[in-house]
A and B are shown apart, each in its own frame.
Chain A
Amino acid sequence: MKLNRPYRILTFATTVLLLVPALFANEIGPDEGREILERIDSLVSYEESDFSAEYTVTQERPGQGQSRTKMTMFRRDRDNRYTILIMEPAADRGKGYVRIGENLWLYDPADQRFTRTSARDRFENTNARNSDFTQSTLAEDYRIVGHEREQLGAYDTDVYELEAVTDDVTYPRMRIWVDQDGLVRKFEDYSLSGQHMRSTAIPRYRRLGDQFVAVQIVIQDELRGREVDGEFRHERTIIAVDKPSLRDVPDMVFTRAYLERVSD
């Protein structure tokens, strides 16, 4: 019944391997956790100014080619407002979203009406969500339930496991990789059952004063993809951000009338 020596060593090594991350994981209290998340939010939130930029969203579907959506985004985080104008493809030009408070409206010029929609919805049939383009509210929506350190390529990162404290979020669990500047470099979204839904990488930021703008974002759908040349490839959405600015935006831009005015 006794285990021979190699098995005992292997068993011990495995146990150590499994316990090491737990030993190094730090317990973070609720207040400290909230402070950490508030700092992360503050670097990419623009409470003192307006924000505008052009976004190019490229959807890669393995074996089915690419589609591209170009849009112009205006944000006023202090009022919880944003406006998105779809510029390309030509068939969708003129469509737009306006968010006022917690209310999100979609304007479709084809039937000349505004319909209420949800920020949970996929953005224009890509793997991005409407919520991916809005103010970061990690501190409001999540609490930290786990922490460890990890090397992410060139970055020393703190990896936080987050659990939602509200039902208003798309994903109830997340893991975020935060670099030493406090910028989220990567995050993974999980369902309530622990199913890994999406991974998102943010390889590039641009600095605007004291704030940062994510200018390259890659979203990988962990559930959808296709086998190509014998290898499974995930669907990916690549977001490139151009012309980011913190200049003031006219009040009129954050109204439903503005969408009608600029639409075709």
Chain B
Amino acid sequence: MRVSRLLRTVLAAAICVSLGLTFTPDHLSALDEFFEEPDPGVADDENGDETEDEAEDTEDNDEPEDAEGIDFDALTTAPTTFSGSVSTGIGAAVSLIDWPWTDEAQARDPLENYELAGGYDLSASFGVDARPGAHLRFSARMGTSLNPDSMSLSAPRFSRLFVDYTLAESIYFRVGRYGMTWGQGRVVGNPANFVSDVSDGMAVRAVVPAGRGSVTGLVYSKGAWVSQYSPQNPKAFAYAGQWETSLDAISLTAAGWGRYSEPLRTSASVSGSIGAFDLTVEAVNRWDWNRPFAPENLDLRLLTQVLWEGGDPSWVIIGEHLSDSTVPSFRGHRAGVALRMPRFGALGVNWRPQVRVRHAFHDNSGEVVTGLTGTVAPDLSMSIGAPFRYGPPGSYYRQGDFGSDLQDIGGVAALGLGVSLSFSF
């Protein structure tokens, strides 16, 4: 009798589970409400037996829709627009000058091993953008910022001022002052970024499509170079070029940079995917013809980058290794990892956490930077940073300040809090 009752109970449970598996609400209802009515967009052709008149009607109906299309000229032609942006912020930080167990820290009063700092900033920029024709564009942006030491605003400076001209829808020129970035490095440095100083001067760039890629030519100069030579002298200019192309799942890039009296710089990179990972290898070399060719005179940097994007919600992990031949005894290795993690909600704020870890093998120094950024109110964001670093004083990652939101803050560890208001109009 007991067995029978048990069996009944088990059977009843099994039936409930079976029915539950077969008729889960999810299976029945996920988005099914969208299909109660047939789609009018294809209804005319559903049976495929339309008359010729109906077919013509359909074509007639399609034509105006298709003719509407995207207006290509409208993407590159626009009335002159004026825009601006303002950013102001306040922050405070406490930093530890040396780790307490070190001789440097023990030589000073414990309280003197801490440093308190606070600051504020204000910056503004104004811009104009004119696209009178599909082949023409003028853009300029000028900015100023507060110098807290003198409570004065810096002299307004053009961060960009350029003219774009596109010849025959194929050759694209940009002339003026602007910034650009070459190279693939994102964590431990970007040695192939030969053009990082373009924004300090004036440049002419031409881009020509070439097969499944493009060729870029660049000529630029800066004030210091022009004052050394005359503005007409080719020695006052730097010359650079880049070729990039895609071969199925692989992309290739080669670049060169040259200037009178400076070593020629070249780079080559190859990127591709292996399973879920994107892999990039980039080699950068400086060719100093004045030094005899020998292994010890090599000025070679080799960057390896692995990028993984995945998860739900999405994570991005970038790992990099940089080998530097200029450090003796093949000890020039640096490695780093940067994480872009999903946002999470806390205290009513949607926070974006970030972590970056870097290590230099030649002097065993490194840094770990953790931070949180969130928008606490419209246009108002808060950031919390907690970096620390290790290694002997003066070693690779123990020089200078912590950078970013903790400029002018040095030491081995810090905790900073900042609030900033920024908006554009």
The chain A residues found within 8 Å of chain B, CB to CB, are 1, 3, 7, 10-11, 14, 17-18, 52-54, 72, 74, 79, 85, 90-91, 100-103, 111-113, 115-118, 120-122, 152-155, 167-168, 180-181, 183, 185-186, 188, 196-197, 199-201, 203-209, 212, 215, 218, 220, 222-224, 243-247, 249-253, 255-258, 260-262, 264
Bound Cα distance A90, B41 (Å):
32
Contact of A111 among B32, B181, B216, B312 (CB under 8 A): B181
- Contact status B32-A153, CB under 8 Å: yes
Contact status A90-B278, CB under 8 Å = no
Spell out B's residues near A (CB within 8 Å): 3-4, 7-8, 11, 15, 18-19, 22, 26, 30-42, 44-46, 58, 62, 65-70, 72, 75-76, 129, 137, 164, 166, 169-170, 172, 174, 178-182, 184, 186, 207, 209, 212-214, 216, 244, 246-251, 271, 273, 275-276, 278, 280, 307, 309-310, 312-314, 316, 424
> Residues of A contacting B38 with CB < 8 Å?
154-155
For B68, give its contact among A113, A243, A260 (CB under 8 Å).
A243
A260 to B209, CA, bound (A): 14
A-B contact count (CB 8 A): 194
Q: Cβ of B76 and Cβ of A261 under 8 Å apart?
A: yes
What residues of chain A lie closer than 8 Å to B246, measured between beta carbons? 100-103
Cβ A262 vs Cβ B7 within 8 A: no
Complex Cα–Cα for A196 and B31 (A): 14
Q: Are A153 and B34 in contact (CB under 8 A)?
A: yes
On whether the beta carbons of B31 and A186 are closer than 8 Å, the reply is yes
Taking the nearest CB of chain B, how far is it from the CB of A122, in angstroms? Answer: 5
Contact between B209 and A251, CB atoms less than 8 A apart: yes
Query: In the complex, what residues of B have CB within 8 A of residue A72's CB?
Result: 70, 75
Query: Can you identify 18 A-B contacts, CB atoms within 8 angstroms?
Result: A3-B7, A11-B15, A52-B70, A85-B75, A101-B246, A102-B273, A120-B309, A167-B275, A181-B46, A188-B30, A204-B40, A207-B45, A212-B42, A218-B31, A244-B66, A247-B69, A257-B172, A261-B164
Q: How far in angstroms is the closest Cβ of chain B from A195?
A: 9
Q: Are B7 and A261 in contact (CB under 8 A)?
A: no
Within 8 Å CB of B33, what residues of A? 153
Q: Which residue of B lies closest to A236 (CB)?
A: B31
A18 to B275 Cα, complex, angstroms? 38
User: With A90-B424, A153-B35 as given contacts, are A14 and B209 in contact (CB-CB < 8 Å)?
Assistant: no
Q: Is the CB of B65 within 8 A of A206?
A: yes
State whether A255 touches B209 (Cβ < 8 A).
yes
Least CB distance from A205 to B in Å reads 5
Specify the chain A residue showing the minimal Cβ separation from B198.
A112
Q: Are A218 and B69 in touch, CB under 8 angstroms?
A: no
Q: Cα distance A155–B67 when bound, in Å? A: 31
Q: Do residues B66 and A247 form an inter-chain contact, with CB atoms below 8 A? A: yes
Of B46, B58, B66, which is in contact with the most chain A CB atoms at under 10 Å from its CB?
A: B66
Known: A1-B7, A252-B169, A253-B72. 16 other contacts (CB 8 A): A72-B75, A74-B70, A90-B424, A113-B181, A115-B186, A116-B280, A118-B307, A121-B309, A153-B36, A154-B38, A180-B46, A201-B32, A203-B39, A244-B66, A246-B66, A258-B172
B72 touching A250 by the CB < 8 A rule?
yes
Q: Which residue of A lies closest to B172 (CB)?
A: A257
Whether A207 pairs with B58 at a CB distance below 8 angstroms is yes
Measured between beta carbons, the chain A residues less than 8 angstroms from B7 are 1, 3
- Known A-B contacts A103-B249, A252-B166; A54 and B35 likewise in contact (beta carbons under 8 Å): no
Contact B249 A252 (CB under 8 A): no
Most buried by B among A120, A180, A245, A257: A257
| In the complex, chain A residues whose CB is within 8 Å of the CB of B75 | 72, 85, 262
CA distance A95 to B19 in the complex (A): 50
CA A180 – CA B48 in complex, angstroms?
11
Contact check, B314 vs A112: say whether CB atoms are below 8 A apart: no
A14-B19, A255-B214 as given contacts; A200 in contact with B179, CB under 8 Å: no
Chain B residues whose CB sits within 8 angstroms of the CB of A262 once the complex forms: 75-76
**A30 to B373 alpha-carbon distance, docked (Å):** 51
State A204–B43 Cα separation when bound (angstroms): 10
Query: Contacts of A85 on B, CB cut-off 8 Å?
Result: 75
Q: Check A154–B42 contact: CB distance below 8 A.
A: no
A252 touches B172 (CB 8 A): yes
Q: How far is the CB of B162 from chain A (nearest CB, A)?
A: 11
Q: Are A122 and B314 in contact (CB under 8 A)?
A: yes
Q: How far is the CA of A54 from the CA of B19 in the complex (A)?
A: 44
Query: 9 closest A-B pairs (Cβ-Cβ)?
Result: A153-B35, A245-B69, A113-B181, A102-B249, A201-B31, A257-B207, A203-B34, A100-B246, A199-B30
Nearest A residue (CB) for B24? A196
Instruction: Kindly state the separation between the CA atoms of A204 and B37 in the bound complex, as whole angstroms.
Output: 10
- Chain B residues, CB < 8 A from A121: 309, 314, 316
Bound CA span A101–B41, Å: 32
CB distance from B304 to the nearest CB of A (A): 14
User: Among A1, A224, A260, which residue has the most Cβ atoms of chain B within 10 A?
Assistant: A260
**When the two chains form their complex, are residues B34 and A218 in contact, meaning their CB atoms are under 8 A apart?**
yes
